[in-house]
């Protein structure tokens, strides 16, 4: 008997469907994706998992979903044969699960081109109509636009069926994408966006002005068939005047064959002149394809073996050093630019000298680069060692100021000791000071900090509060500024003069003291003067403060330079203690709380602030010491961990009742 979904599962499913529909509209209709492939695939995988376990939710769910509704900007026409999606798999085991169910082991493996799907209908060899995939049932009429693409023949050559719909992918080669972005006012995020945005134009002249390409790979409506395999169909396509990915296609007889092809294509992916996001694996026999048939939204006889959405292989051109606000030297990989999850990546972190040694990475190697969401890209492995690769030698002097570089006992990081006058450290400290969770001074960011420090207008944080007074007239005459922007900047600086104690503690840049620790210290000491004289022993007594952090705090307030700069700053600001905002006798007072999932009525920062006003300690991870987990929609592993540990779980309604 099929399981019945409870309210929580229904809510999670509804939330995921809402997100996926919005993402599909952004991707298919507006050609402006708002999430990367990894995020989309994770949500899609979860919603299909739910629908598989609770079939009642599949009827109007993602299991029957293809693309997005057609845009009202275009005329639409029904597909004579539905234009289905392809089921995704992400690892060798999932390929094997599919392979083991096949009656034939003769496979044809193609590239999965990252472009926009099209269907081109030919009657008696003449192109009569072109459609997008659209909803899979109906597509947008883009006939005039497809006619501008040289790779799509207006008339078929040789022998052809009286009626055939050739289906394929419109794409933009990377070189053409770069050239377009150099000359266009609108900057596209990646070649797929550029191709889709160019193809779905109401004015075909715009499409014609951009260099689009196309491959054919399958067919829809058909009057008669004269080929028996997918491989033979590629021959037919080329005889009719279409281009195919034949150059990169392979036959396979086993999962091992498929994996070998996968590994080889991954390794040489950057040498293919257009973007791909995986392989398409098909049963080669057309008769077997027809016998296997399709599910509601995808054929049973083919799968898409997707590459990791957040990984790619590219060349390591160089390793440079970045100096942070605390003086730590971080090696940065300078990469041959590569598109990863919709973002062109040209730099990645290598963390430290130990990480370079662990990876055994050298300049000139081909490397695997990983990016997930907003996380800084990083090199995870060497894919291929270059014959002329050069080992990297870590510098013994700071590349910015020439100061000595030391590695403290027991530490991994190497640090520039010239904290008083190293320009990189000064800029980093100031950027941290004006950031959102510190003084939150709108109008001053990294670019402005770099400019003002080069001019000598800002040497320490206190100088920000006299910037307009001392240099306002000069600033008004500079490019990018003016009377209005200077006035707005002055207002933002003035607003920042009244600052909560926790924000001040976070802003002054005590090593290892982040936003959460700053709030703990503000609540515990209630004044800056009390914190300044705190001993290591006193600090260690506080829940959440360890010995290393306690020593850093005490050392900071013993540093003459740091204390001098802080005293100078205090002349211009008014420090407020937010502890007086704490609501007495709250159910949440002293509780360790973790937020997970998406709340419908609160932002994450907003909910966090309310919890802290009620005396709760908000943590980012679940442990045995956690008292409450507040779970919104799409709650993930934190909720699972809480359930395993028997921790109290609240809904958003429970949270609201508690704060009332």
Q: In the chain, pLDDT over 90 holds for what percent of residues?
A: 41
pLDDT level of residue 338 (50, 70, 90 thresholds): confident
Asked if 211 and 176 touch (Cβ cutoff 8 Å), the reply is: yes
Average pLDDT over residues 10-36: 72
Question: Right CATH number for 585-659 from 3.60.40.10, 3.40.50.10190, 1.10.10.10, 1.10.630.10?
Answer: 3.40.50.10190
Query: Residue 545 has what pLDDT?
Result: 84
Cα distance between residue 355 and residue 380, in whole Å: 10
Nearest to 502 by CA among 490, 510, 492: 510
What are 363's strand-pairing partners? 390
pLDDT: which is higher, 421 or 402: 402
Global pTM reads 0.48
**Known catalytic residue at 236:** no
Length of the chain equals 660
624-642 confidence digits (pLDDT tens):
888 899 988 777 778 888 8
Sheet of 107-113: strand order equals: 87-89, 302-306, 276-283, 107-113, 250-252
* Crossing angle (nearest 10°) for helices 92-100 and 255-267: 150
> What CATH code is assigned to 423-579?
1.10.150.20
Identical fold between 7-64 and 76-306: no
119-163 confidence digits (pLDDT tens):
999 999 999 999 998 888 888 899 999 999 999 999 999 999 999
Kindly tell me if the per-residue pLDDT of 374 is higher than 50. no
Question: Right CATH number for 311-404 from 1.20.1440.60, 3.10.20.30, 3.40.50.300, 2.40.50.140?
Answer: 2.40.50.140
Q: Domain 76-306 belongs to what topology?
A: D-amino Acid Aminotransferase; Chain A, domain 1 (3.30.470)
What is the domain partition of the chain in residue ranges?
A: 7-64, 76-306, 311-404, 423-579, 585-659
Query: Residue 373 has what pLDDT?
Result: 46
Average pLDDT over residues 167-176: 93
Catalytic residue, chosen from 112, 366, 608, 638, is 112
Query: Residue 223 has what pLDDT?
Result: 96
Q: In the chain, pLDDT over 70 holds for what percent of residues?
A: 92
Kindly tell me if the per-residue pLDDT of 306 is higher than 60. yes
Nearest to 554 by CA among 524, 532, 570: 532
Kindly tell me if the per-residue pLDDT of 199 is higher than 80. yes
Backbone angles phi, psi at 251, to 5 degrees: -90, 150
514-529 confidence digits (pLDDT tens):
887 888 898 888 899 9
Min mean pLDDT across 57-71, 215-229, 319-333 is at: 57-71
For 7-64, give the CATH class: mainly alpha
């Amino acid at each position: 008997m099929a399981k019945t979904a409870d309210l929580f599962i229904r809510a999670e499913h509804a939330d995921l469907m809402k997100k996926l529909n919005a993402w599909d509209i952004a991707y298919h209709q507006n050609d402006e994706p708002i999430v990367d492939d990894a995020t989309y695939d994770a949500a899609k995988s979860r919603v299909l998992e739910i629908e598989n376990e609770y079939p009642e939710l599949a009827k109007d769910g993602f299991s029957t979903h293809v693309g997005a509704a057609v845009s009202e900007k275009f005329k639409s026409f029904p597909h004579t044969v539905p234009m289905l999606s392809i089921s995704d798999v992400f690892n060798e085991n999932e390929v094997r699960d599919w392979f083991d169910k096949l009656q034939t082991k003769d496979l044809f493996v193609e590239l999965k081109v990252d472009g926009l799907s099209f269907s081109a209908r030919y009657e008696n060899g003449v192109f009569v109509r072109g459609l997008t995939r659209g909803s899979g049932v109906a597509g947008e009429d883009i006939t005039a636009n497809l006619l501008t693409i040289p790779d799509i023949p207006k008339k078929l050559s040789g022998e052809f069926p009286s009626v055939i719909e050739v289906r394929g992918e419109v794409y933009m080669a990377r070189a053409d994408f770069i050239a377009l972005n150099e000359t266009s006012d609108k900057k596209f995020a990646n070649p797929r966006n550029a191709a889709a945005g160019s193809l779905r134009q109401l004015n075909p002249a715009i499409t014609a002005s951009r260099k689009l390409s196309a491959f054919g790979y399958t067919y829809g409506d058909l009057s008669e068939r004269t080929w028996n395999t997918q491989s033979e169909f590629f021959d037919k396509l080329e005889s009719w005047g279409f281009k195919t990915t034949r150059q990169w296609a392979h036959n396979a007889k086993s999962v091992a064959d498929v994996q070998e092809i996968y590994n080889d294509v991954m390794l040489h992916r950057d040498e293919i002149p257009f973007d791909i996001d995986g392989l398409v694996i098909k049963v080669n026999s057309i008769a077997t394809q027809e016998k296997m048939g399709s599910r509601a939204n995808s054929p049973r006889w083919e799968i898409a073996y997707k590459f990791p959405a957040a990984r790619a292989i590219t060349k390591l051109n160089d390793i440079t050093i970045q100096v942070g606000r605390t003086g730590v030297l971080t090696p940065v990989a300078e990469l041959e630019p590569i598109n990863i999850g919709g973002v062109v990546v040209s730099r990645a972190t290598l963390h430290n000298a130990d990480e370079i040694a662990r990876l055994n990475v050298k300049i000139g190697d081909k490397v695997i680069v990983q990016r997930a969401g907003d996380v800084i890209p990083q090199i995870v492995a060497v894919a291929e060692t270059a014959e002329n690769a050069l080992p990297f030698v870590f510098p013994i002097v700071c590349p910015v100021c020439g100061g000595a570089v030391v590695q403290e006992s027991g530490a991994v990081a190497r640090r520039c000791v010239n904290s008083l006058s190293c320009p990189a450290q000064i800029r980093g400290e100031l950027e941290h000071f004006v950031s959102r969770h510190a003084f939150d001074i709108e109008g001053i960011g990294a670019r402005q900090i770099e400019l003002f420090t080069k001019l000598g207008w800002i040497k320490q944080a206190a100088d920000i509060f006299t910037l307009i007074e001392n240099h306002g007239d000069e600033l008004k005459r500079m490019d990018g500024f003016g009377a209005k922007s200077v006035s707005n900047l002055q207002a933002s600086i003035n607003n920042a003069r009244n600052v909560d104690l926790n924000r001040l503690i976070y802003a002054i840049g005590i090593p290892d003291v982040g936003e959460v620790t700053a709030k703990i210290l503000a609540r515990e000491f209630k004044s800056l003067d009390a914190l300044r004289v705190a001993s290591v022993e006193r600090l260690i007594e506080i829940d959440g403060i360890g010995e290393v952090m306690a020593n850093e705090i005490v050392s900071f307030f013993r540093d003459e330079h740091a204390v001098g700069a802080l005293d100078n700053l205090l002349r211009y600001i008014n420090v407020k203690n937010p502890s007086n905002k704490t609501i007495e006798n709250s159910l949440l007072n002293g509780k360790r709380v973790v937020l997970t999932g998406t709340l419908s009525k609160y932002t994450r920062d907003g909910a966090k602030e309310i919890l802290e006003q009620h005396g709760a300690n908000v943590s980012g991870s679940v442990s045995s010491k956690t008292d409450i987990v507040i779970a919104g929609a799409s709650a993930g592993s934190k909720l699972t961990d809480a359930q395993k540990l028997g921790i109290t779980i609240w809904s958003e309604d429970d949270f609201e009742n508690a704060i009332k």
